[in-house]
Structure 1
Amino acid sequence: MLAVYVAHTNADEPLAGLVVGSLDEPAVPPGWTTVEVRAASLNHHDLWSLRGVGLPADRLPMILGCDAAGVDADGNEVVVHSVVTSDAWRGDETLDPRRSILSERYPGTFAERVAVPRRNLVPKPPELSFAEAACLPTAWLTAYRMLFTRAAVVPGSTVLVQGAGGGVATALIVLGRAAGLRVWATSRSEAKRARALSLGADAVFVPGARLPERVDVVAETVGAATWDHSLKALKPGGTLVISGATSGADPPAGLNRVFFLQLSVVGSTMGTRDELERLLRLCVERDVRPVIESERPLEDARAAFEALAAGDVFGKLVLTR
């Protein structure tokens, strides 16, 4: 079958090991099934995999891709929840110490077919296209959990989104607006700041700018480059929720500010199957749709990866079949 996979990793030139070619059909363990992939979306996780982060050489070749929407073996339209837990785990999937996601231990979604545990399939609402649904299980689910589970925002709260433009950041803006939040966003790019306003952000700023007032919550995915500003932007008792560090994972500590102002620094990663179901329902009932930068056929995956690596993307990149 046609697949997009890592043949070898390269920390400095990640696309050097990217291959679009033929691989064997996925194995289907007991309790698993196959999904005919109609659409799958890219995430920064795919670039990290190409660099060898979390993907040792003995697992290669590995098909990339965490997110997918398609048709299961019974003909049902489904969305794939990409967090794979150990068989005995019950409860919040993100807390299983042995969890992984597709494309880490098991072949990913950038292929004609993917094998997944049956419990990981969620019905796709007919109101969402396959491309729209394929954007939700990683970036949009991460944003949903950051806002509503980990930061526990309430309508009327002010949220600062650092680094508007990426999949998680655009999801934070759209979901925050739908939930009745006042959403502010930062970006180095004037064009991306303008697009953030068009998505519903109430105000936009250059990174590090002095804000009109301190905020209740900062949603952080950038890391080192914005960490100090994120802490300074919070009002006393505020919450910084972080799900990634695309600019580096070793930010200045700022511990004196954290304890003196009684700030909460909260980690967040991915989301549960139940949260994915609620996210899908929210998208339908509030007419919310993911921001899609472009859709390309699976055969043109390299062009999508080049765009992701260059950073000139606003929203999600989708591969289709």
Structure 2
Amino acid sequence: MFAVYAAAPNPEAPLDALRVGDRPEPAAPEGWVKVRVTAASLNMHDLWTLRGVGIKAERFPMILGMDGVGTLDDGTQVVVHPVVGDPAWTGDETLDPRRTLLTELHQGTFADYVIVPARNAVPLPDGVPATHGAVMGTAWLTAYRMLFTKSGLRPGQTMLVQGASGGVSTALVQLGRAAGMTVFVTGRTEEKRALAENLGAHRVFPTGTKLPSRVDAVFESVGEATWGHSLRSLRPGGAVIVCGSTSGPNPAADLQRVFFLQLRVEGSTMGTRQELADLLAFVARSGIRPQIGLELPMRDAAAAIQAMEAGDTTGKMVLTAGAA
């Protein structure tokens, strides 16, 4: 079958590890299903896989792609939930110490077919296009969990999104606006701030700008470059919800501010199967149209990965299936 895969880890030149060609078609074991992929979306995790981060060398070749939408043998359209847990685990899958993600242990979605546990194939609601479903499993699911499970925000409260144009950030803006929050966003360039406004942000600011009022929660994926600003922007008792640290993992802690103002720092990673189902239902009901900055056929995956590596992203990048 056609596939986009990493031939071997290459930390220095990850694109040199990328291959577009044939891989064996998978067979679904008992309890798993085979999904014919319609569309998939790109994540930074795919670049890390090419570099060999978070994956053992013996797992290569590895088909890339955590996110995808496709059809089962009976024609049902499904969204892939990329968190694969221990079958014996009960409760929140993101807390399972033996959980793994597609492309770490199991082959990914950048192919004609992917196999996943049956519970990881979540029905795509009527009216949601395949290209929209393809972006939900990682960035949008991460944003949904941050906002609705972790932050404790209620409609009418104010949130700050640090960084205006990435997949998680654009999802947070759109979800927050649809849920009735007042949405502030920071961005490094006028273009990125304009994108956030177009997606529903109420106010946009250059990175590091003092805000007109303190906020109830900050959503962080940047790390070192924005951490101090995030803490200074919070009202007493507010929360910063963290899902990443793209600018570096070692921010100044400013612990005096944390304990004196009783701030809450909460980590968030991915989301559960139920949260994905809830996200899909919310998107269908609210009519949200996810920001897709680039759509290419899967054979052109190298161009999409190169754009992502260069930071030329405005929302999500979608790859439509097949070699044609």
What is the TM-score of this pair, normalised by structure 2? 0.97
Tell me what 2:231 maps to: 231
Whole-Å Cα distance in 2 between the matches of residues 261 and 26 of structure 1?
54
Deviations 1:250-285 (A, max 9, x none): 222221211111100000011111111111111111
Q: CA deviation at 1:27?
A: 4.1
RMSD of equivalent CA atoms: 1.0
Tell me what 1:91 maps to: 91
**Matches of residues 1-321 of structure 1 in structure 2 within 5 Å?**
1-321=1-321
Name the SS of the counterpart of 2:114 in structure 1: strand
Name the SS of the counterpart of 1:306 in structure 2: helix
Identity of aligned residues (%): 58
Q: CA deviation at 1:52?
A: 1.5
Whole-Å Cα distance in 1 between the matches of residues 12 and 289 of structure 2?
35
How many aligned residue pairs are there?
321
Report the AA paired with residue 54 of structure 1: G
Deviations 1:79-136 (A, max 9, x none): 1111100010112111111001111110011111001000111111120111110111
CA contact (8 A) 2:7 2:62 kept: yes
Report the AA paired with residue 301 of structure 1: A
Whole-Å Cα distance in 2 between the matches of residues 83 and 152 of structure 1?
24
Whole-Å Cα distance in 2 between the matches of residues 30 and 148 of structure 1?
34
Report the AA paired with residue 265 of structure 1: V
Whole-Å Cα distance in 1 between the matches of residues 57 and 276 of structure 2?
32
Deviations 1:50-85 (A, max 9, x none): 222101211111111111100012211111111100
The runs of 5 or more residues in structure 1 that have no matched partner are none
Q: CA deviation at 1:48?
A: 1.6
With 112-121 and 44-53 compared, the bigger mean Cα shift is at 44-53
With 26-35 and 143-152 compared, the bigger mean Cα shift is at 26-35
Whole-Å Cα distance in 2 between the matches of residues 264 and 307 of structure 1?
35
Whole-Å Cα distance in 1 between the matches of residues 22 and 245 of structure 2?
33
Report the AA paired with residue 81 of structure 2: H
CA contact (8 A) 2:160 2:217 kept: yes
CA contact (8 A) 1:84 1:102 kept: yes
CA contact (8 A) 1:4 1:64 kept: yes
Whole-Å Cα distance in 1 between the matches of residues 37 and 59 of structure 2?
22
CA contact (8 A) 2:27 2:34 kept: no
Name the SS of the counterpart of 1:5 in structure 2: strand
Deviations 1:178-201 (A, max 9, x none): 000000111111101011101110
The runs of 5 or more residues in structure 2 that have no matched partner are none
Q: CA deviation at 1:137?
A: 0.9
CA contact (8 A) 1:295 1:320 kept: yes
What is the TM-score of this pair, normalised by structure 1? 0.98
Whole-Å Cα distance in 2 between the matches of residues 171 and 276 of structure 1?
13
Query: Structure 1 stretches (4+) deviating beyond 4 angstroms?
Result: none
